[in-house]
Amino acid sequence: MLDDLYHLRERARAALARGDLDEAANALVAAAAQTHVPEHDYVTILRPLVEVLTKRNDARSALSVLWYMAFSEADGWKRATAMLQAVPSVDRARTLAALGDMPGAAREMENAGLVAAAAIYREKSEDWQGARALWSRLSQVVGGGADAYNAALVQFNLARCARKCKDKRQAREATVASVRLLEEAADYFESVGQRERAFDCFQVLVQIGRESKMFEDVLEGFVNCIRILREDHLKYFALQYFEDALASAKERGELSAAATLAREASDYARSLGMIATSAHYVVVQAELWRDVAKNHLERGAPAEIAENALLAAVLAFGEVGHYARVGALYKDLAEIDLEPARRKHYARAAKRYEGVRDEPIDTAPLPSHLRQENHFPDVWHVDLLEWEQRGSAAEACADVLLDKRWPDLIRRKAMLARLTAFAVEGRPDDPGGAVTAARVRLADQLAQLQLYAVLSPLEALFTRPERPVKVAVLSAMQQLFFKRSFVTVRAGLRDSDPAVVEQASKAVESLYFQHAFDPLSRIVRESPQPQVRGSALKALARVDTMEAAEFLLGVLEHGAPIDRAAALEGLKKSRGARFLELARSSLHSSAPEVQASLREVLRSRGVAA
C-alpha cells in the first residue's frame, strides 16, 4: 500500500512540474483515499494536495484538507485562517468556531443565511439576547404541518433563551407552542412508522418539562420514551429510562408517580427474567408509598388517603417477603385517625406479625455491566442544523471533519467525501456522465462513514432521477443499521424502475437488527410484491426477538404459500434461539402442515423435535 502511495505522490509531482494541475490533484486524492496508512505518511500526501488545490483556485477543498491537518500540525490553523477571504461565509464560520471565536462564527453564519447555526453559536458565546432574536426570526418562517417537529424545536430554543433573558411571558408562550407542536409531530411520526423520530419528540418533551418545571411534561415524555424502547426491545435502555424517570419524580416530590413507575419497572424487569432487579423496584415502590403516606399525614390530608398509600406499601413489602416491615406498617395503620373498627382490624393484623423477620432476598438495581451511555442528545440543536443544511453532504461531512472526537480514520473519510460533494452539489448534469459518476462515488463514501449524520445527504441524493445514483444510495443503506434507513428503502420499493426495486429489496434483506422488527413487519404486511415480502421475512428470521419469532410463526400458520416458503428458508439459515424455543413449545399444538415446517427448521438447526 505504501508503494502505491509513493507512486501516486511521484506521479502528482511529475504532473505538477508540467503544469497539469488536474492530473496532480487526481493522483493525490487517489493517494489520500488510502485512509488506513499511518498519520506521518498520510500528511505527506495532504501537504502537496493543499498546494495543488490552492493553485487550482479551489479554496474550499484546500481549506477542508487544512481542517484535517490543523489538529496535528503546529501552524495548521494559521494556514487555515490565511485562506478565509477566499471561501464562503459558512466555511469562515466553521473555522472561527474551531478557533473558539463564537461571536465571529455567528456573524458569518448569519451572513450565509443559516439562522439556526448562527443562533447556536450565539448561545455558545452566551449572547442570549442575540440568540433569542435569531430564534424569534426563525419562528416566523417555520410552521406546523409536515414541519411541526422543526417548528417545535425552534420554539423550544426560543423558550430557553427567553428564560435566560428573564422574559417569563415569552418563555411561557414559546413553551406551550413547543409542547403542542411536539405532540403533533410525534403523532405524525408514529402514524408513518418512524417511531425513532417520535422518540426524539418525547426526549425534547422531557427537557421542556425539566426547564419549565412542569412535571406533567416530564412524565409524559418519559412514559412515551419507555414505551417506544420496550416496543423496540431495547430492554436495558428502557430500564435506565425507568430509573431516570424515577429520579425526576422524586426530585420534584411527585412520590405517587414515582411509586407507580417503580411498580411498572418491577413488572417489566420480571418479564425479562431479571428477578433481583424486579425485587429491587418492589422495595423502592414500597418505601415510596410509605413516604407518600407520611407526607399526606404531615399535610393534614384525609386519613383515608394515607391509609391507601400504606396498604399499597403493605402489598409491595409482602410481595418480597419483608414481613417485619409489613407488621410495622399495620401498626402505623392502627394509629392513624380512622374509624375505630378499621383501627382495631389493623391492630389485630399487626399482632399476627409480631416476632417475624424479613426473608432474605436478592435485590439489586440494573447491573453496571448492562448499563449503556444514556443521555439526552441536544436534538433541539442537532436536528435543526440538519434541517437547515438541506441534505448537503459537504456540510454534514464538515461537521464530522471538524469534530476531534471522531478517530482520524473517520475524519479522513469525511474529508474525501466533502471533496467529492463539492464536485456535485449545485452543479448541473453533464452529458458525459461525470457528475453522475461522482454522485455514485459520493454515496459510497458516505456509506463508509457509517454514521447517522450521513442519512440526510443520502436521502437528498436519492431524489435524483438517475438510476445509478438511486441504486448506489440503496446499496449504501445496506450498511447503515438505523431505523431511519428504512425511510429511503421503502421509497425505493415503491419506485417505478425494477432495478431500483431490486436493490431496495436487497437492502431490506441486509437491514436486520434488533429494533428493525417494526419496519420489517410493516413491509411484510403492506408490500404487494412477493420478492420484497420474502426479503423482509428473511431479515426478520435473523432478528432474534420473541416478537419476531411469533410473527414468523404466524406467517407459517396463515401466510400465503410463497411467504411461508420465504419464512421457512430464512429460519433454516438463521442462528437465533428465540424461534427454536417457540417452535418446540408450539410443535404439538400446531396444524399438521405447520408441524412439518417446524420440524424442518429444527432438523436444519440440529435440534431434536
pLDDT tens digits for range 188-205: 988 887 888 899 899 999
Q: According to the model, what pLDDT value does residue 1 have?
A: 55
* Percent helix, percent strand, percent coil in the chain, to nearest 5: 75, 0, 25
pLDDT band with cut points at 50, 70 and 90 for residue 514: confident
Assign domain 2-87 to a CATH class.
mainly alpha
Distance in angstroms (rounded) separating the CA atoms of residues 426 and 38: 34
Q: Is 528 helix (H, G, I), strand (E, B) or coil?
A: coil
Q: What is the largest CA-CA distance in the chain?
A: 107
Domains in the chain: boundaries: 2-87, 127-252+372-389, 275-365, 391-480, 511-609
CB 67 within 8 A of CB 55: no
The topology under which CATH files domain 511-609 is Leucine-rich Repeat Variant (1.25.10)
- For CA atoms 97, 102, 108, 114, give the dihedral sign: positive
Q: What is the pLDDT of residues 441-458, one digit of tens each?
A: 999 999 999 999 999 999
Report which residue type is found at 19. Answer: G
Q: Is 214 left (phi over 0), alpha (psi -120 to 50) or beta?
A: beta
Q: According to the model, what pLDDT value does residue 372 have?
A: 59
Local structure of residue 336 (DSSP, 8 states): S
Distance in angstroms (rounded) separating the CA atoms of residues 16 and 292: 79
Q: Please give the average per-residue pLDDT across 134-160, as a whole number.
A: 89
- For CA atoms 127, 112, 175, 198, give the dihedral sign: negative
Q: According to the model, what pLDDT value does residue 369 have?
A: 61
Stretch among 133-147, 177-191, 541-555 having the lowest mean pLDDT: 133-147
Taking the C-alpha atoms of 156, 161, 165 and 171 in order, what is their torsion angle to the nearest 10 degrees?
Answer: -10
Query: Which one is predicted more confidently, 514 or 20?
Result: 20
Q: According to the model, what pLDDT value does residue 194 have?
A: 83
Confirm whether 2-87 and 511-609 share one CATH topology.
no
Q: Kindly tell me if the per-residue pLDDT of 429 is higher than 80.
A: no
Query: Which one is predicted more confidently, 378 or 57?
Result: 57
Q: According to the model, what pLDDT value does residue 609 have?
A: 61
- The CATH code of domain 127-252+372-389 reads 1.25.40
Q: Please give the average per-residue pLDDT across 83-100, as a whole number.
A: 96
Distance in angstroms (rounded) separating the CA atoms of residues 189 and 201: 9
Taking the C-alpha atoms of 5, 9, 14 and 15 in order, what is their torsion angle to the nearest 10 degrees?
Answer: 100
pLDDT band with cut points at 50, 70 and 90 for residue 146: low
Q: According to the model, what pLDDT value does residue 178 have?
A: 95
Q: Please give the average per-residue pLDDT across 208-216, as a whole number.
A: 91
Cell matching residue 446: 458516505
- Spatial CA neighbour of 378 closest among 550, 546, 206, 254: 206
pLDDT band with cut points at 50, 70 and 90 for residue 490: very high
Q: Kindly tell me if the per-residue pLDDT of 55 is higher than 60.
A: yes
